[in-house]
Amino acid sequence: MLLHPEVLAILLVNTLFFLFALIAFVLSVRIVLFYNADESTSLQYKLQKEGYLASTIIKFIFILKIPLFLFFVFTLDSLSNLITGAMCAAGVVDATVYGNYLFVLKILNLYLFAFWLMLHYRESKREVPRYTKEKYIFFLLLFILFMIEVAVEFLMFDAIELDKMVDCCGTLYSSTSASYISTLFHINTPLLLGLFYANGVLLLLFYRLKNRYFFALASALFFVSALLSLIAFFGTYIYELPTHHCPFCFLQKEYYYVGYLLYALLFTSTFYGVASTFTDEKRGMQYSLLYALIYMFIVSAYVLSYYFKTGVWL
Amino acid sequence: MIELKNLSKSYAISKEQTSEALRGIDLKIEEGELVILKGPSGSGKSTILSLIAALSKPTSGDVLVDGKNISKLSDDFAALYRGKNIGFVFQKYNLLANLSVAQNITLPLIPLNPPLHELEAELESVMQMFHIEHKKDVMVSKLSGGEQQRVAIARACINDPKIILADEPTANLDKTLSLHFIEILKELKALNKTIIVATHDPLFFGLDFVDREIEIADGALV
């Protein structure tokens, strides 16, 4: 599978990322070991310049990681045409033991990179940066996670066997599935929806109260409740099929790629929401709330439009 | 007010070679002082000015202005510091040829986004001070050397800076215009500005209103 054009493109970009991240890693190690803001030696000024280079590299990686993540999902989806039994990206993710871990790791790393950049931005707004060392220690951890991601990605694509039968999403995301996912479908739907909409109200409430810590907490909970309700309930209205719960199929053309929009709104809203813990600027909470409300509006609209069209609930 | 502490600056010439422009400079300049930095070309005068203006960072050492270490400032704050505290007259004036006199002079205030009436008032004030109000809408490329210099000084003064730095300000002027610039310096000194002029023009030496003449040679104070 490694020589598939799209996989090859991902692996090549990963190699570039690795080389650049390695430079940033070496510079970060030097900063962590030797930086002292109180000294004015030539080494300190040199480290300051190296810090600019390292942060530019990290920004470059993050900015490319976002479209690359979308391309990764797109690639998984396109690979499903080649793998026996797979109907969408879900089958490809489940085709190897690495798929699910890789997916979680990629999302986690995207968030961590975004948080690093936010910390960096906050630091650059200080007259004299105070947390330079801490910022680069954070990057060292991030580098390790990123390298694991690159390695797991390689292993995953290498382990995919075209002639091995895999489960399709209909099997993986069903109440009769043997996996932990099936427990999700036994949660009471009104309870799940109640949690989802109550979370939306909480976001609004904490925004009005300007309590950024509670807002961040509500935002993290909103992410979980939105994801669960999307798989268990709202997805069925997108597919107009009560038994289909796949979190990947709506990334496909048949559903107007709406999944990309929904996930982008959800991830961005959560990022700004959780990031508001670190900053007293109101703008982050505003963005978070706005994206969450748009998300709620779109998924609710699917349910209501289905009801108005057919006169029944799924 | 301005304190240079063990200040060094070197420039890379090639991978192996560096040129030391400044070597362990220690210097204090008080508020309201007019100081002439003199020395031959390449002695490090301009480098000192660019470090005080936070246009570049030292290789080692500190530049303290009002007790604040400006050599450690991040880029955004260095720009803010320059906008509030520094007026810089460059050797070649660094005016934008395609802009008018008024547009050139008001450039330093644009990032601060002041109300239009304030901008106009400041512009009128500095143009009158340096006698160029009659050229307000003329493109700077159409001005004589002396007029261009006055525009450059007006631009350096429009943000009412505490510190005025002039790098070889009379290098492109004849004697009459150079003497006129010296008169302008006198006026600025009367306004209690801290002024540092880097020059090797003998016209600046031995002036009675100059507080100090500091000689630099080979990157070190003589």
Tell me how far the alpha carbon of residue B197 is from its chain's centroid: 7
Is A23 within a domain?
Answer: yes
Provide the pLDDT confidence category of residue A176 given band limits of 50, 70 and 90.
Answer: low
Is A173 within a domain?
Answer: yes
Residues of B in Cβ contact (< 8 Å) with A48: 57
* CA gap B120, B125 in Å, rounded: 9
Give the N- to C-terminal CA distance of chain B in Å, as an integer. 22
Provide the pLDDT confidence category of residue A124 given band limits of 50, 70 and 90.
Answer: confident
The ipTM of this complex is 0.79
Return the pLDDT at B115: 92
Contact between A142 and A110 (Cβ < 8 Å): no
Residues A17 and A119 grouped into a single domain: yes
Residues A43 and A124 grouped into a single domain: yes
Per the prediction, chain A carries an average pLDDT of 89
Q: Which of A56-70, B15-29, B167-181 has the lowest mean pLDDT?
A: B167-181
Contact between A192 and A205 (Cβ < 8 Å): no
Per the prediction, chain B carries an average pLDDT of 91
Answer left, alpha or beta for residue B137, where phi above 0 means left and psi between -120 and 50 means alpha.
Answer: alpha
> Looking at the complex, does the CB of residue B56 fall below 8 Å from at least one CB of chain A?
no
Reported as a single tens digit per residue, the pLDDT across A250-286 is 888 889 999 999 999 999 999 899 888 877 678 889 9
Return the pLDDT at A167: 77
Provide the pLDDT confidence category of residue A177 given band limits of 50, 70 and 90.
Answer: low
Q: Tell me which of B88 and A177 has the higher pLDDT.
A: B88
Residues A252 and A113 grouped into a single domain: no
Return the pLDDT at A311: 85
Per the structure, the complete domain to which residue A181 belongs is given by: 169-310
Return the pLDDT at A267: 92
Residue-wise over B139-170: b if at least 16 C-beta within 10 A, else e? bbeebeebbbbbbbbbbbbbbebbbbbbbbbb
Cα R_g (chain B), whole angstroms = 17
Domain boundary among A128, A159, A190: A159
Residues A52 and A188 grouped into a single domain: no
Residues of B in Cβ contact (< 8 Å) with A49: 57
* Nearest-CA distance B139 → chain A (Å): 37
For A123, which residue in chain B has the nearest alpha carbon?
A: B74
Please give the tally of structural domains in chain A. Answer: 2
Residues A205 and A139 grouped into a single domain: no
Q: Which residue has the tokens 């009436």?
A: B117
Return the pLDDT at A31: 96
> Looking at the complex, does the CB of residue B20 fall below 8 Å from at least one CB of chain A?
no
Reported as a single tens digit per residue, the pLDDT across B151-163 is 999 999 999 999 9
Contact between B131 and B150 (Cβ < 8 Å): yes
Tokens (6 digits) for B5: 């502490």
Asked if the model's pLDDT at residue A88 lies above 70, the reply is yes
Domain boundary among A99, A130, A159: A159
Residues A122 and A213 grouped into a single domain: no
